[in-house]
Amino acid sequence: MLFSFFHTDEFHKVIRNSGFIISTILIRISFSVSGIINNVLIISAILFGLAVLFIHNKFEKKLAEEIDKGNEIDKMKKL
């Protein structure tokens, strides 16, 4: 987590990395339990990681669209 702060200060990327850390912790915890709880922890870790990735990708796409719109407006102003 701290290592990701050294690479970027963009909030959405730090949150994405935090979500992956939480997924990893859930998987590690699943190794120490047995029975159905093991499976539940693994499945919840996978679903949580996928949800974080899905939300991050949607945010990145929307951010890129807003940047493109801003660039188009700047080009129109120059004309």
User: pLDDT of 45-57, one tens digit each?
Assistant: 999 999 999 999 9
**Which domain covers residue 38, as residue numbers?**
9-78
Residue 41 lies in a domain: yes
pTM of the model: 0.75
DSSP code per residue over 3-57: HHHHH---HHHHHHHHHHHHHHHHHHHHTT--THHHHHHHHHHHHHHHHHHHHHH
Residue 3 lies in a domain: no
Mean pLDDT of the chain, nearest integer: 85
Ranked by mean pLDDT, which of 13-22, 34-43, 60-69, 70-79 comes out on top?
34-43
Residue 1 lies in a domain: no
Residue 2 lies in a domain: no
- Which whole number is the average pLDDT over 10-32? 88
Angle between helices 36-78 and 11-30 (to 10 degrees): 170
Report the alpha-carbon distance of residue 24 to residue 37 in Å, rounded.
Answer: 16
How many domains does the chain fold into?
A: 1
Residue 36 lies in a domain: yes
Residue 4 lies in a domain: no
Share of the chain above pLDDT 70, in %: 84
Specify the higher pLDDT residue, 38 or 68.
Answer: 38
- Which whole number is the average pLDDT over 1-25? 78
